[in-house]
Structure 1
Amino acid sequence: MSFIAKSFPLTLLMAVLAAPSATARELSIALISGADLVTVMPTSLKINWKTAEQKHLAINSPNLTINEKPQTITHLTQPSPHQAEWTLLPSKIHVKASLKGNLTLSFRLDNKEVIERNHPMTLAWFDLPQKITQALYLPFSEGMRIPINNATWAKYLEKNHSGANTTQDLKMPFWTVKNGNRYVTVQLLNATNNRLDFSSNQKQVDMFASHQFTQLNRAESFDVQISLDKQLLDGAKRYRQYRIKHNQAEPLTKKIIQTPAVEKMIGASQVYLFGSDGISPEDVVNWWKLKDWYFTHSTLTIPAEADKELKALTQGKDWFSHYHKQLLVDSINASLHTKYPAPQPTLASNGIAAQFNAVQLRKKWLAQHAQPYLISSGKWGQALSEDMITALKQSGINKLWLGLDNWMPAFYQPEVVDKAKQAGYLVATYDSYNTAIPLGLNDGWLTAQLPNAIRKQCAIELADGSKKKGFRGNGYYLNPQCHLDYVQQRVKDIVKYGRFNSLFLDVDGTAMAREDYQAKSKESQMLTAFNHRMDWIAKNTGVVLGSEDGNSLTTTGTAFAHGLETIGFGWTDKDMKSNKASPYYLGRWYPDHKPDFFFKSAKVKKPYKTLLFAPQYRVPLYQTVFHDEVINSHHWHSDSLKFSNVQTERDLISMLYNTPAMVHLSRDEAKSANSPRIKALQHYQEGYEPIHQQLWDKQLVDFKWLDNKGNIHQTRFSDGSTITANFSDKLFKYRQASLAPHTIIADLSNGKKVSWVSK
């Protein structure tokens, strides 16, 4: 039964609503806008869409429940042909449906309805119409193309993404479904308190979405916009326009006006430098004399391992191995930490100045007492050293973002930071205010060394009354609204003493929204707090700010992000995590100056190898929205050289989407301009820099396959420039031109043609 309410006599309408529940569930509402006709079954939310060119298209399968219970309806009205309203019972959720070009659904809880703190009301509202769906396009990373009838995808999604939220896990709050020759995009206008679930029903992908009304967010409506489009990227473009309309977008052109140093990001590859202490093996000129001085003359407190492994070594009799050298250097650094410790931070003092002063005392003392056995103290360093900057300059790489995993290397060598900036580089430190841990748990985790008062007062309190455990179960996760003044002062001090012109603020950009019952803070308020914190840093420190992921809900103030081009995966996979004999083993988290996890090459196992890296399953959804706003790269766990058996795919995707490479460096990997990792950086720069200099402020507007198998991809940008990639091992001919295997060709609107091959 389909009807437009205003054409019904009131007595007949009342009769329909008073009918038995089976009859009520068959009731459907017709919404009309131009040539579009949408029918909605209010009790089940089955939705069909008819256009002038197409018969009814299934938009949503009938599966609506509240707390897993089916509903009936009351107070159904239709004041106009394109709008209807009704109330679900017994939940008392008021629903409004409106068709004006797009279909908008709004769900609002009755103001008088009481929700207990630990018993939210769950609205299950979306069920993917499997039978007519060919593919699902999800922004779980840059963008995934998921064929519905692929059993491997179905199993993977069920295992790895069921229970996903739509703030942190879904990188942008929409998804697109391919039905026949049309594309249906569902955008969550309220992206908080949502959950996605997947099942591998009949070896096909099935997806469900639900929303929770909680004690904290009960006054917020849940709104959804559904659009019918003709092209794959139309949904992403629609979301881009939504961000612009609601003043959420901030292009790089505007960010450069506020922070001129953002210009240094254009065409810059990205590098993380590892090692955080004072001296490295490259700083030693006489190993035996340094060892003898350490044990017989230094008066330093010597760690037990060094005393056991090094003390008895005798020149002429024993071999001073690489292990012994590293142990001696590490032990001297540790002894200096003991001799000149830095006090723990308090609310009154964040300890940054004290850390800087302690480092100067360590460096000065060692130069006074051990200089004959070491090179000049101005050239010392692990992550950051003068010879590393010299090697990078000599290689001809004139644009780089250099990131430190903490700020101590810059405290040891602030003059080297200045030299890097003089070379045109951005120098940043990793920082975070997301987890606070107690004293003694992991004193090397500098960012989490926050005062006890902050750890206790700012800990997120869950609905069940417990505190939210921090990263890897350590300490507590913190509410970003809490003690903002402390964060602001510590950031200013880190930038001041480290002389940084960039900052990587971990987690804030991930849209990791949670409810905090201690502060009575909704998820939406937490997102606002993350954005406010990043915006303050960008406007008040002069640094070029970046963050993890760069999720669409938390990008305020950020010029770059790390995470979406290669996301973290396989966290619980034993072969990757703990099986050292496996070719898929990612590596140990040590030694500190060059952790295996970041530098050891590994292979990617199936199904990750296919599902996450095969070009047939990649789509530039994020770049369609953010290419001219946020420069995104890989998660720092997986630099461009990490995975040997998918390096070609990752290289070509990065060039095709015009995103920068990321290469990790340590002191020993950057001894000269001919070091293999610096040569790799040179090669990436040859392709990326000239293309990005033309396209950094352009929109990615089109994406297509030029073959039937998905081995030849092409992106097009708003200035008419195109980038074409050949992922296959065969020559491809198009437009009277040839594209070699594993190669991209960029035909730029400025007349330049750039050809680049993955090595």
Structure 2
Amino acid sequence: MKPKFAWLASAVLIAVMLAGCASGGEAGQALPAALAASHVQQARAAVVPAGEPFDFEVDPETFALTLIKDGVREPASLPLPKTKVTNLVKTEDSVSWTYPGQMDISITKKSNYLDIQLKSAGAVKFQWPEVQSDSYTLPLGEGKQIPADDKDWQTFLNDQTYTFSESFSMDFFALNNQAFSMVYVVTNKYNDEVHFSAAPSLQFQFTHDFPTINPDKSYGFRLYVTGGDPQQIVLPYKNYVAENGGFVTLEQKAAQNPNIRKLYGAPQMYLWSGQLLTDDNVKWPKLRNVLTSRLGPWLVHLMAETADGSSELSQTLADISSQDYVDNYQKKVILNAINQALKMRDFYTADQFPNPGADAAALIQQGVENLSEEKLYDLNKLLLKNRLGDAVSDISEWGQSGSTGVIQDLHDSGIDKAWIGLPNWADGLMNPAMVDEAVKDGYLIAPYDSYHSIQEKADISWNTASFSDPTLYDKATVTRADGTKVAGFLGLGRKLNPALAMPSVKERTKGILQDGIGYNSWFVDCDSTGEIYDDYSADHPTTQAEDLKARLERLSYFANDQKMVVGSEGGNDYASGVIAFAEGIESPIIAWDDPDMRDNKDSQYYVGGYYAMSGIPERYGKSVPIKPLYAKVYTDPAYSLPLYKLVYNDSIITTNHWEWGSYKIKGEEANRMLYELLYNAPPLYHLDQAAWEAEKSSITGFLKVWSPLHQAAVTQEMTGFKILTDDKLVQSAQYGDDIRVIVNFSDHDVTVQGQNLKAKSAFILQDGQTVFFDAGANAALLK
């Protein structure tokens, strides 16, 4: 079963596609030299000492570890079954021993932590520590505070096994008891799993595997004692990252690429404009006549090679041949086929287009097989216009109202900064005027790109999983220890080994950019999710550490060689030194394995399919409720903590996963706005022309408050976080010395510092002024 908090992504197996994964410099380790040289590596100094003084006791035969502070004893690990010990050596500050044929263990007391080292002496895996506490502070996404006796969390986590590198956004976990907290900093993130059980209360076991292909047979921890405040809990890890040169601020990144500052105060918006020829561009009576001649059968032939197939189009053409009209559904089928055909390299044949026109003929003369992707689209547009004549408008008008027109209206509505994501790079190559408009208006605009999955045969309906090198599928995909291949996303194809992918990355990127498309940002799926692999292929064995290093080098290629503002899915912090933004930390994929949400189309919780002939697929645009259990563990602010922000607020911008944008969860719209203010996180919207018109008032109303706050706070450290009421629903966050946000997630008014704070509202104290925002009223604009 997949981990419920693994940052699994999603794919649309169509030309406008967000594909994904089931689940840099390394946090706590220096960036690889090739990456470090490209950044200003001025690691943040560990100014505030982390941790408090304590003593320890350990029973080597059971590895039961106890920490002692001010006379109070707390178990840091539960006892293992009693095992024979050899080579036992004790000094004043250290203990070491051997489990014969299994493990060598050493524990050394440093000034403010225990240095715990575990090395295989024959074991293929080892389980330690097993922990039990009153509550847990875990960096699941942004962060969670989980009571051990909470029945809902017990139900949710019981018998779940999480891959540590994937499900934990930072490399630590904390145990909280009444007297003090204990923070484990994990010094080897690879090949680790965390397994939860719930009897009699919530506890978990940490297990490390020792793969045969990995010469490093060790793992370890630093163990600190802290207070229970989240700032105290994250401080050891924050210092550990800085100590090892793994911290790069946004401003340091912006010194290399000033466009990064365009993210400050910028919402994130996916623009669904993949259809170039739209209903607005067509005179249907004339088009119907053209389609029933030679063009219609040619489109049927072309569609037979796609995932959609040709049967629906064939039936539609047969139907309209006996009608004197074209209904709305038939229009969608026809436009979908035309827009897919426009992307095909075999759209042109001399038989189909004997008189293509002078401009098209000039491109044909170069050899259709030699044309760049953008020039191919230019050719196909010319051919289509030549065939359709005045049945369609001029090419310069195709698709502009839902693309360039929306972007212009965003800017005219007062949105000065935005990150615009296109679900596929082809959207921009088909419509470069849209990209030019975004750049002119001061926005960042990025294609979605992915190198995680590979298909055996290239397919325009999943172009991110298609590569020109035919040898990759057999010779560069990930093999398990048993010799089987790791399947690609949704079980299709295979997983591509990133250590062998860089030539294809460069080839694809060169092909996309060669005609000067104005992309100034790039979104790379999966590379910061922590879904990494050991590859046991005999001719290219690759460890998880090597897999991750290759992903970081890929991200660095876009950031440094291509000078793009780079983002990635997830945002696990090993990538924080390279990327500028990440999608998934603030709201992950919810309940990936629940059939009511993923498979049962009759369920009220069904999140929708990936496919849409036009506009926003339901998977991204449909608002749905979530089950009470998921509402509690994923969205209830009483259990959320800004652990990631307390470390990385001024290093990386984090937002929701694209499947769970700001308006996705029905009834949570106001809470999401409050969360985005409190946590300094950009809202994420899915827009087409219809959605923009419906959501415009709510979006612009929120951004008038959110954007100036984010622009000021994003270059500051998060310096404080407080829970102000017993129900934990009134909270405050501080950024730097002068910015404070207070939110009331509850359904009733409260008094804060002598002022009434309405239900579902926020105070922002900034530059000596107080701004009030009523999220409930703003969310009501969506109704």
After TM superposition, the score normalised by the length of structure 1 is 0.87
- Who is 2:729 aligned against? 711
Q: 2:599, 2:66 → 1: CA distance?
A: 49
The code of the aligned residue for 1:589 comes to: Y
Q: 2:237, 2:66 → 1: CA distance?
A: 22
Q: 2:341, 2:577 → 1: CA distance?
A: 43
Question: Of residues 517, 522, 529 in structure 2, which corresponds to 1:503?
Answer: 522
- Who is 1:121 aligned against? 124
- Who is 1:481 aligned against? 499
Query: How far apart are 1:47 and its partner, in Å?
Result: 1.5
Question: Of residues 671, 684, 691 in structure 1, which corresponds to 2:709?
Answer: 691
C-alpha offsets along residues 465-497 of structure 1, whole Å, 9 cap, x if unaligned? 211111111111122111412212322432444
The code of the aligned residue for 1:515 comes to: D
| Alpha-carbon distance change, 91 to 407 in structure 1, aligned in 2, over 3 angstroms | same
Query: How far apart are 1:376 and its partner, in Å?
Result: 3.1
Query: How far apart are 1:660 and its partner, in Å?
Result: 0.4
C-alpha offsets along residues 244-300 of structure 1, whole Å, 9 cap, x if unaligned? 22111111001101111101101000011224343122332x222222222236476
Checking the alignment, whether the CA contact within 8 Å between 2:373 and 2:512 is kept in structure 1 is no
Q: 2:167, 2:52 → 1: CA distance?
A: 37
C-alpha offsets along residues 547-589 of structure 1, whole Å, 9 cap, x if unaligned? 0111012334200000111111222222212222222111122
Q: Does 1:51 align with 2:69?
A: yes
- Who is 2:364 aligned against? none
Question: Of residues 89, 94, 102 in structure 2, which corresponds to 1:83?
Answer: 94
C-alpha offsets along residues 99-151 of structure 1, whole Å, 9 cap, x if unaligned? 431112001234xx4xxxxxx6111111223xxx3211111211112111012
Question: Of residues 525, 542, 554 in structure 2, which corresponds to 1:521?
Answer: 542
Q: Could you tell me which runs of 5 or more consecutive residues in structure 2 were left unpaired when the two chains were aligned.
A: 1-50, 301-310, 350-366
| Alpha-carbon distance change, 126 to 630 in structure 1, aligned in 2, over 3 angstroms | same
Q: Pairwise mapping of residues 85-484 of structure 1 onto structure 2 (< 5 A)? A: 85-110=96-121, 113=122, 121-129=124-132, 133-159=133-159, 162-202=160-200, 204-230=201-227, 231-284=229-282, 286-296=283-293, 298=295, 301-303=298-300, 304-313=311-320, 320-337=326-343, 340-341=346-347, 354-381=372-399, 385-439=403-457, 443-450=460-467, 451-484=469-502
C-alpha offsets along residues 517-574 of structure 1, whole Å, 9 cap, x if unaligned? 2222221222222112211221110110000111012334200000111111222222
SS of the residue aligned with 1:503?
strand
Question: Of residues 654, 660, 665 in structure 1, which corresponds to 2:687?
Answer: 665
More divergent stretch after superposition (306-315 vs 626-635):
306-315
Query: How far apart are 1:592 and its partner, in Å?
Result: 4.1
Q: 2:53, 2:606 → 1: CA distance?
A: 57
More divergent stretch after superposition (96-105 vs 256-265):
96-105
Q: 2:560, 2:344 → 1: CA distance?
A: 38
Q: 2:432, 2:370 → 1: CA distance?
A: 14
Q: CA RMSD of the aligned region, Å?
A: 2.4
The code of the aligned residue for 1:222 comes to: Y
Q: 2:370, 2:488 → 1: CA distance?
A: 23
Q: Could you tell me which runs of 5 or more consecutive residues in structure 1 were left unpaired when the two chains were aligned.
A: 1-32, 114-119, 344-348
| Alpha-carbon distance change, 446 to 252 in structure 1, aligned in 2, over 3 angstroms | same
Larger RCO of the pair (alpha carbons < 8 Å, separation 6+): 2
Checking the alignment, whether the CA contact within 8 Å between 2:606 and 2:624 is kept in structure 1 is yes
C-alpha offsets along residues 400-449 of structure 1, whole Å, 9 cap, x if unaligned? 11101111111111122111101011110000111111116x54111100
Checking the alignment, whether the CA contact within 8 Å between 1:291 and 1:328 is kept in structure 2 is no
| Alpha-carbon distance change, 226 to 338 in structure 1, aligned in 2, over 3 angstroms | closer
Q: 1:558, 1:467 → 2: CA distance?
A: 30
The code of the aligned residue for 2:684 comes to: M
| Alpha-carbon distance change, 413 to 735 in structure 1, aligned in 2, over 3 angstroms | same
Query: How far apart are 1:338 and its partner, in Å?
Result: 5.5
SS of the residue aligned with 1:444?
helix
After TM superposition, the score normalised by the length of structure 2 is 0.84
Checking the alignment, whether the CA contact within 8 Å between 1:97 and 1:105 is kept in structure 2 is yes
Query: How far apart are 1:737 and its partner, in Å?
Result: 1.2
Query: How far apart are 1:749 and its partner, in Å?
Result: 4.4
Question: Of residues 525, 531, 537 in structure 2, which corresponds to 1:512?
Answer: 531
SS of the residue aligned with 2:181?
strand
SS of the residue aligned with 2:707?
helix
SS of the residue aligned with 1:607?
helix
Q: 1:556, 1:466 → 2: CA distance?
A: 34
Q: 2:573, 2:149 → 1: CA distance?
A: 29
Checking the alignment, whether the CA contact within 8 Å between 2:292 and 2:321 is kept in structure 1 is no
More divergent stretch after superposition (749-758 vs 520-529):
749-758
Checking the alignment, whether the CA contact within 8 Å between 2:105 and 2:116 is kept in structure 1 is no
SS of the residue aligned with 1:185?
strand
Query: How far apart are 1:218 and its partner, in Å?
Result: 4.2
Checking the alignment, whether the CA contact within 8 Å between 2:96 and 2:104 is kept in structure 1 is no
Checking the alignment, whether the CA contact within 8 Å between 2:345 and 2:376 is kept in structure 1 is no
Q: Pairwise mapping of residues 593-632 of structure 1 onto structure 2 (< 5 A)? A: 593=614, 594-632=616-654
Query: How far apart are 1:219 and its partner, in Å?
Result: 2.8
Checking the alignment, whether the CA contact within 8 Å between 2:288 and 2:326 is kept in structure 1 is no
Checking the alignment, whether the CA contact within 8 Å between 2:741 and 2:763 is kept in structure 1 is yes
Q: 2:396, 2:690 → 1: CA distance?
A: 17
More divergent stretch after superposition (325-334 vs 581-590):
325-334
More divergent stretch after superposition (91-100 vs 622-631):
91-100
| Alpha-carbon distance change, 337 to 531 in structure 1, aligned in 2, over 3 angstroms | closer
Structure with larger Rg: 1
Query: How far apart are 1:337 and its partner, in Å?
Result: 4.6
Q: Pairwise mapping of residues 648-659 of structure 1 onto structure 2 (< 5 A)? A: 648-659=670-681
| Alpha-carbon distance change, 34 to 690 in structure 1, aligned in 2, over 3 angstroms | closer
C-alpha offsets along residues 195-237 of structure 1, whole Å, 9 cap, x if unaligned? 10011212x2111111112212343421101111112232323
More divergent stretch after superposition (456-465 vs 274-283):
274-283
- Who is 1:566 aligned against? 587
- Who is 2:9 aligned against? none
Checking the alignment, whether the CA contact within 8 Å between 1:435 and 1:477 is kept in structure 2 is yes
Q: 2:554, 2:434 → 1: CA distance?
A: 29
The code of the aligned residue for 2:660 comes to: S
Q: 1:334, 1:232 → 2: CA distance?
A: 51
SS of the residue aligned with 1:233?
helix
Q: Does 1:646 align with 2:657?
A: no
- Who is 1:534 aligned against? 555
Query: How far apart are 1:459 and its partner, in Å?
Result: 0.7
C-alpha offsets along residues 326-346 of structure 1, whole Å, 9 cap, x if unaligned? 122123224445674499xxx
More divergent stretch after superposition (545-554 vs 292-301):
292-301
Checking the alignment, whether the CA contact within 8 Å between 1:39 and 1:48 is kept in structure 2 is yes
- Who is 2:86 aligned against? 74
Q: 2:546, 2:719 → 1: CA distance?
A: 33
| Alpha-carbon distance change, 290 to 669 in structure 1, aligned in 2, over 3 angstroms | farther
More divergent stretch after superposition (745-754 vs 479-488):
745-754
Q: 1:411, 1:206 → 2: CA distance?
A: 52
| Alpha-carbon distance change, 84 to 443 in structure 1, aligned in 2, over 3 angstroms | same
Query: How far apart are 1:34 and its partner, in Å?
Result: 9.9
